[in-house]
Amino acid sequence: MPIRWRLTLWFSLIVCAILILSGVVLHGLLQRYLSNEVDNDLRVYSARVHGTLNPKEMPEHLDYDVIHANLPPIDEFTSPGIYIQFIDRSGNVVVKSSNLGEQELPTSPSLISKGFEGSVGIETVAAGDGAGVRIMVSPMYLMEETLLLEVAQSLKHIDAIMSQVRWALLAGILLAFTMASISGAILVRRALSPVERITRTARSIEASSDLSRRVGYRGPMDEIGELVTTFDHMIEHLDRVFQSQRHFVTDASHDLRGPLTVIRGNLDLLKRDLGEEDRQEALRAIGAETDRMAGIVNALLILAEVESGKVELQETVSLRRIVLSELRRARQLARSRKIAAGRQEDLSIKGDVHRLKQLLGNLVDNAIRYTPEWGTITLSLFRDNGWARLEVVDTGVGIAPEHLPNIFDRFYRTDRARARARGGTGLGLAIVKGIAEQHGGKVTVASELGKGSTFTAWLKL
């Protein structure tokens, strides 16, 4: 059964149960109140009869006509349907109120024997046709005789009221149940409609593999709102990851196809009858392109490893030592560029020494690659607010502001041809970013076109 129906059913059943319970309580209270009213009327009237029939004012011999004549009047407006009768010891009705006519009150042997034993009793006695009569008996000592006074009232009007109340309650409960079911169904449907939209969107994404679809929720940010928004964010994230994955595969294939084409072309050339010089040139080109491919594949492997997040961060690594060895390496590669040591502090962090060397090496390689021969490259290491800042500053070509947000993306190059010509793979900065993040840090860049760039790796101390 769908959750929508289950919730509606539960909601309606609970409303129904509450109504039935209140109905039962109301019914019981009303019944009790009305019964008490009847009993009070009977008691009051019985007391009046006892008060009126004073034995001293009776004739010497018991005269039933006198008793009848002395009965207090029955007010049909204040206590309607009150009947009186007297019974003698043999069970005969000797006196009865005129409103009884030819009829007599129904008898209850237990009530009569109780009365003749001297106590007052009150009981509901069936009077045929399902109607009940409430009868109160009390002994009455007149002269030498004991008579039983029976004061009674029909319960027909109470039964009629209670029956109407029962029907009204039943109708009310049924109406409330129907309304609760309908309104519950509408409410639950409205509350769950975003969930249905999620399901529809998820199905359509699954069917079409189109991750650009969204649920597009516009409502209150309650639990359901948050679920829908989280779902949309998740799809957005997956979309970005898949897109970047697609671009990555395209870019990687593209970058590998270039060298392969050159190798293929040169192999075709070598099949022909070439002069020694051309043959050497073809072999040299094949060698260079093979190196480039090896470089790309190597960088891809490092990137995959870095992005898989596997790293041992237990080892204490002296960053100063890494900077010193990088200064030495850079001086060998820099030709006439000046490699300067900036501010140097003795800082160590927990990390992976090979990865950190790779990080600095990539930044220095880029600085050399994009700085003219007369430029300067400065390496600094210092503490800044709980971070170790590793800075590579160059006075090279710089990066245009529109490229700055993307240069850490895989295969992103501001100038593809120039970068390739200088031996770049477009993966260096992606690796730098991955390593910095592995060490709980980040990389930032500040650059001005034509003036130079500053790359800073922030590593948590």
By C-beta, is 217 or 408 nearer to ligand ADP? 408
In the complex, minimum distance from the CB of residue 331 to ligand ADP, in angstroms, rounded to a whole number: 17
Q: Does 153 help bind ligand ADP (rule: CB under 6 A)?
A: no
In the complex, minimum distance from the CB of residue 338 to ligand ADP, in angstroms, rounded to a whole number: 15
* CA-to-CA separations, 151 to 72, 155, 346, in angstroms, rounded: 12, 13, 113
**What contacts 441, CB < 8 A, 6 or more positions away?**
387, 457, 458, 459, 460
Distance CA 107, CA 125 (A): 7
In the complex, minimum distance from the CB of residue 370 to ligand ADP, in angstroms, rounded to a whole number: 3
* Radius of gyration from C-alpha coordinates of the chain: 53
What is the DSSP secondary structure assignment for residue 73, as one 8-state letter?
Answer: P
Number of chain positions touching ligand ADP (CB under 6 A): 23
Q: Does 148 help bind ligand ADP (rule: CB under 6 A)?
A: no
By C-beta, is 426 or 441 nearer to ligand ADP? 426
CA distance from start to end of the chain:
57
Q: Does 428 help bind ligand ADP (rule: CB under 6 A)?
A: yes
Quick check: helix, strand or coil at residue 299?
helix
By C-beta, is 41 or 251 nearer to ligand ADP? 251
Identity of the amino acid at 70? N
By C-beta, is 98 or 245 nearer to ligand ADP? 245
Among 375, 393, 394, 395, binds ligand ADP (CB under 6 A): 394
Contact 455, 396 (CB under 8 A): no
* CA-to-CA separations, 93 to 46, 70, 101, 148, 328, in angstroms, rounded: 17, 17, 13, 9, 135
**Site mask for ligand ADP (CB under 6 A), range 397-426, x = bound:** xxx-------x----xxxx---x----xxx
By C-beta, is 262 or 407 nearer to ligand ADP? 407
Identity of the amino acid at 363? L
Q: Which of residues 14-53 bind ligand ADP (CB under 6 A)?
A: none
Decide the pairing of beta strands 82-87 and 376-384: unpaired
**Site mask for ligand ADP (CB under 6 A), range 351-390, x = bound:** ---------------xx-xx--------------------
In the complex, minimum distance from the CB of residue 216 to ligand ADP, in angstroms, rounded to a whole number: 36
Contact 399, 445 (CB under 8 A): yes
Instruction: Name the residues that contact ligand ADP, by CB under 6 A.
Output: 366-367, 369-370, 394, 396-399, 407, 412-415, 419, 424-430, 453
